[in-house]
Amino acid sequence: MQFRDLKKQYEVLKKDIDQNIQSVCLTSHYISGPEVSKLEEKLAEYVGVKHCITCANGTDALTLSLKAWGIGKGDAVFVPDFTFFSSGECPASLGATCFFVDVDKNTYNMDSKKLEEAIKKVIAEGKYIPKVVVTVDLFGLPADYDAIKPICQKYNLLLLEDGAQGFGGAIRGKKNCSFGDIATTSFFPAKPLGCYGDGGAIFTNNDDWAALIRSYAVHGKAGDDKYNNIRLGLNSRLDTMQAAILLVKLEAFKNYEVDDVNKVAQLYNKALKERGLDKRLVLPEIQEDYLSSWAQYTVQLPKKMDRSKVQALMKEKGIPTMVYYMKPMHSQGAFAGTDSANADCPVTNELCKRVLSLPMHPYMTEEMVFEVVDGLAQIL
């Protein structure tokens, strides 16, 4: 069994993917080919925003967005404590100071009450200027934008939506990557919409920011002239081959993969409850009117259970599992000795000890889901 079965997906989409790859090879237009701009148009249309700028990866997407806002030394950026490292790495690399915010114990996303507490504390201390809130649509589920956006407006903060895991999710039909002033996503192969290498994208309705991001993505170019450089930027682009692959995968994603992965999640919920495991595990919570793209199906094991032993026993049964994440952001060594390390995040501390992600992808069958659940039931 595969944790995320990319081979099965390729078998389903093989004809169209091979055709698009062959087309790129025949034109030899490997960089900035027409497939790139076509993909950007389709992504912007799907999300419902004016601009989409593709780039090399999701980490660069965050960095480019923050550079467009001029974020740097003396600025405070608020980031969930329970997330992948790049969410905090990017602002810190630009000289800003991250303040890590605890998350909701059931949704795993930023706790809006804790966010406002953190903002008030930074303002009261007066050492840093609050500038940006980075929300993360963790495991495919949109953050609590109904609560967080008004807080950003109240304190005049920019909202950067890290949708690396959340592409395809929605609230009342409004798509992830459309909630932030700027939003980003990742096309890492294991993401809900993934390519066959690295890739990322940035979304915004702001013309000036979009132009700045396009400049920063190509060595700070002036307009379309990459040999006239007016700012210090990056070399960050999505190559034509990845765009050609994503054009095929995006259609499948829109037409059935998001629906199918939600059916798999429902099967998991049903099977776990039938086995009575919902009494021992904490199952994922999806709020009313929310849609998840299910980058992960993550449960919480009972307190003090040996997670590594559970994983080892599942592996013996041929069932892969993963842990996202084992360490809070504020405990990462890169932030040791900085103000970022002074975070009080008890929920994150507990989640890092208990979370376990199960195999999850749109091509899972009912038999596969029950195999995973039966394996867990035998162990627990």
Q: Decide which of 191, 222, 246 is a domain's last residue.
A: 246
160-197: per-residue pLDDT in tens? Answer: 999 999 999 999 999 999 999 999 999 999 999 999 99
Full domain range(s) for residue 261:
256-379
Q: Are residues 35 and 94 in the same domain?
A: yes
Give the whole-angstrom CA distance, residue 257 versus residue 195: 15
Q: Are residues 267 and 130 in the same domain?
A: no
CATH of the domain at 265: 3.90.1150.10
Mean pLDDT, to the nearest integer, of 342-367? 97
347 belongs to a structural domain: yes
Mean pLDDT, to the nearest integer, of 92-120? 98
131 belongs to a structural domain: yes
Q: Are residues 33 and 173 in the same domain?
A: yes
Q: Are residues 221 and 347 in the same domain?
A: no
251 belongs to a structural domain: no
Give the whole-angstrom CA distance, residue 348 versus residue 352: 6
| C-alpha distance from residue 283 to each of 178, 279, 299, 342, 370 (Å) | 27, 9, 5, 30, 16
Q: Are residues 268 and 151 in the same domain?
A: no
Q: Which helix (H) or strand (E) holds 235?
A: none
The domain tally of the chain equals: 2
Q: Are residues 312 and 195 in the same domain?
A: no
Q: What percent of the chain has pLDDT over 70?
A: 100
Q: What is the pLDDT of residue 122?
A: 98
1 belongs to a structural domain: no
CATH of the domain at 106: 3.40.640.10
Q: Are residues 116 and 237 in the same domain?
A: yes
Say whether 101 sits in a helix, a strand or coil.
Answer: strand
Mean pLDDT, to the nearest integer, of 208-217? 98
Say whether 66 sits in a helix, a strand or coil.
Answer: helix
Mean pLDDT, to the nearest integer, of 303-319? 97
